[in-house]
Amino acid sequence: MNNGARLAIDIGGTFTDVVLEHGGGQDSLKLLTTPDAPERAVLEGVGDILRRSGVNASDVTLIIHGTTLATNALIERKGARTALVTTDGFRDSLEIAYEHRFEQYDLYMERPPPLIERDWRFTVPERIAADGSVLLALDEEALRALAADLGKTGVEAVAICFLHSYVNPDHERRAGEILAAALPGVGITLSAEVCPEIREYDRASTACANAYVQPMIAGYLNRLQDGLRSQGLSCPLLLMMSSGGVTTVETAVRLPIRLVESGPAGGAILARDIAKENDQDKILSFDMGGTTAKITLIDDFQPHIARSFEVARTHRFLKGSGLPLRIPVIDMVEIGAGGGSIADLDAMQRIRVGPESAGSVPGPACYGNGGVAPTVTDADTVLGRIDPARFAGGQVTLTPERAVDAINRDIGEALNIDTNIAAAGVSEIVDEHMANAARVHAIENGKDMVGRSLVAFGGAAPLHATRLADKLGIDRVIVPQGAGVGSAIGFLRAQISYEVVRTRYMDLREFDPIAVNGIYQDMRAEAESVVRLGAPDEALVETRSAFMRYRGQGHEIMVPVPVRVFGTDDGAALAGWFEAAYSALFSRTIPNLAVEALTWTLSLATDRPGVEMAPSIREQYHPDPLGQRKMFDPASGAWIEAAVHARADLRPGAVIQGPAVIVEDETTTLVTDGFGATVNALGQIVLTRMGAAG
């Protein structure tokens, strides 16, 4: 798979990134995304990059593609005309959701409207019980009548979600057959296929979202494949999934919901490999852009996979304000903290930063495009951390005076403090928010920050990485090359994989090895059928886990389980593995309490391509700076001189002492006083705290 050239394409909301990896190295380019026909930018970019690097289309052996199209369709509510068919009596599950207010004190809170409105939600008589037995047979006549009615409405997609279909999908399957026969050309999603898990609202939400984006994704992928073929690219096209694995077009068309958040997943995969290259087994991946910051914890070179995710949060990125999706997803926390995040004061005269963002239009005050609110980028400009002439590769010329005015007007004067201190305060508060989000995320996963290295990418991360590291007690920060197209580079390093989940409730005192072995056999077969489409001959690695809890608890924890046939005695073994995992999370176990398992998962992936550690550097040198710049030092409250270096000029072995800035087109790396920077053999900047070991 590593012979020949490989292409990675990442469609984001604003930019489409194309990366070509070939014998001669790696090329990349950025184009504006073309939302009306996203394949246009892709095909243009692919043509350009092949021409520019002199690679023949026929030499490209693989294309890996990630896209935010599904996510954007859900955020902007621009999906297909979708109907939901559900069990009689449960028409409103999708709307009633969790019966929850996610904002305790807000009397004016609004829940996100359901993806499918009430007049597009239909019910049929049928009922499966919790144990899978049939309480009421599926009324096929009612379903045929419904199909006839639906046929007249111009429906484009249908989601079917019946109660307890995760344990017995027969009614859903039969209903799917009847609807498919009556509604040719209409995409049909079965909840038991997308998300065979207990909890009717979450399952329905996932199934509806899948149906909602399916026609659009299917159409897009077909057009893209045709376009690529007409450019002479007949190699396989694989799609990046939220889990960090890649899959075939066929699977992507069937389960397009697994494509959401593929960009951030690519970033996490890149961070994973950087961890390996630097031999750091505990990583905090930190991606800070214009609007949000994403934080992922990666231990033992394996990003943690969560089973659920919330897309399209409508209210201050608050938990509960989006649509729940139960899909395998690289576990990350996203908060409204980016370069464009707006700073103001709250009722207690405290500086507040974000989640509102000035975005790219009008942008921070210093852009001079009409933005007046002070932002994080304005604060960084006031503090002298950004070169106004070189921001974003010189595409935007910053006006520092506007930044000073904005910070002073909204923060400095209101608090009666010096402008520089006010700017330092804005920067400090956004760093604190990110540090707090990272800590809370860690505690939710039973992890901590001890011994972690930070991998920083995205336009704003390398500016804030060392201060974040201070707050988290982290001694090492790594800034990769090509940080601006990090997700696409990550795609090239992903494995072909597929994750399957089944719910099967079991009290471990009555462990049923035959049932569990059967479940795993089924899951393996399902996963293999998908993975083999993209990797017909390669060796595959299987991993398993079970979600368990003490009997009576409401939250399950993930427990890795071995890949083998289980015997009668393994109930006790499973309980033991659970207790070990529970103890790691919560520092104690509870004696005499029964353990139950709810959900079983299996992941099947191609073997990971080996990642070489960065060779050690033989010769170090101290590069001459391009010049000096005045930078405000919050610790001393004084302006200090900082050396300015151009990243493009630095060779492996370069050693730079803080305070300094290392500038490149997409970002600036801030080397604070307490850190020293070296450039390693792979061209990555490694910042190490002075006095810290190694």
Map the footprint of another protein across residues 7-36, applying CB under 8 A.
none
Q: Which residues pair with 542 in a beta bridge?
A: 604
Selected binder of another protein within 429, 463, 595, 631 (CB under 8 A): 429
Q: Which residues pair with 375 in a beta bridge?
A: 342
Sorted by sequence, the CB contacts under 8 Å of residue 643 that are 6+ apart come out as 625, 627, 628, 656, 657, 659, 660, 661
Of 200 and 277, the one with the shorter C-beta distance to another protein is 200
Of 191 and 497, the one with the shorter C-beta distance to another protein is 191
Subset of residues 257 to 296 that bind another protein, contact rule: CB under 8 A? none
Selected binder of another protein within 433, 447, 464, 476 (CB under 8 A): 433
Residues 8/488, Cβ–Cβ less than 8 Å:
yes
For residue 500, report the phi and psi dihedrals to the nearest 5 degrees.
-125, 145
Subset of residues 332 to 371 that bind another protein, contact rule: CB under 8 A? 346-351
Residues 41/16, Cβ–Cβ less than 8 Å:
yes
Total residues interacting with another protein, rule: CB under 8 A = 75
- Give the integer Cα–Cα distance in Å for 604 and 103: 39
Selected binder of another protein within 29, 182, 414, 417 (CB under 8 A): 417
Binding mask 457-486 for another protein (x = CB under 8 A): --------------x-x-------------
Of 163 and 465, the one with the shorter C-beta distance to another protein is 163
Selected binder of another protein within 4, 15, 201, 617 (CB under 8 A): 201
SS3 state at 378: helix
Selected binder of another protein within 25, 108, 230, 514 (CB under 8 A): 108
CB of 89: closest distance to another protein in angstroms? 4
For residue 392, report the phi and psi dihedrals to the nearest 5 degrees.
50, 50
SS3 state at 355: strand
- Give the integer Cα–Cα distance in Å for 330 and 375: 29
Selected binder of another protein within 111, 223, 315, 532 (CB under 8 A): 111
CB of 246: closest distance to another protein in angstroms? 32
Subset of residues 140 to 199 that bind another protein, contact rule: CB under 8 A? 163-164, 166, 198-199
CB of 540: closest distance to another protein in angstroms? 33
- Does residue 547 touch another protein according to CB under 8 A? no
CB of 628: closest distance to another protein in angstroms? 21
CB of 678: closest distance to another protein in angstroms? 26
- Give the integer Cα–Cα distance in Å for 509 and 570: 10
Quick check: bond before 591 cis, omega within 30?
no
Subset of residues 579 to 638 that bind another protein, contact rule: CB under 8 A? 585-588, 590, 592-593, 634, 637-638
Residues 502/18, Cβ–Cβ less than 8 Å:
no
E strands within 121-183? 121-124, 127-128, 134-136, 157-161
Q: Shortest CA distance to 199 belongs to which of 157, 242, 167, 243? A: 167
Of 274 and 557, the one with the shorter C-beta distance to another protein is 557
Subset of residues 62 to 101 that bind another protein, contact rule: CB under 8 A? 88-93, 95-96, 98-101
Q: How open is the CA angle 23-29-34, to the nearest 5 degrees?
A: 135
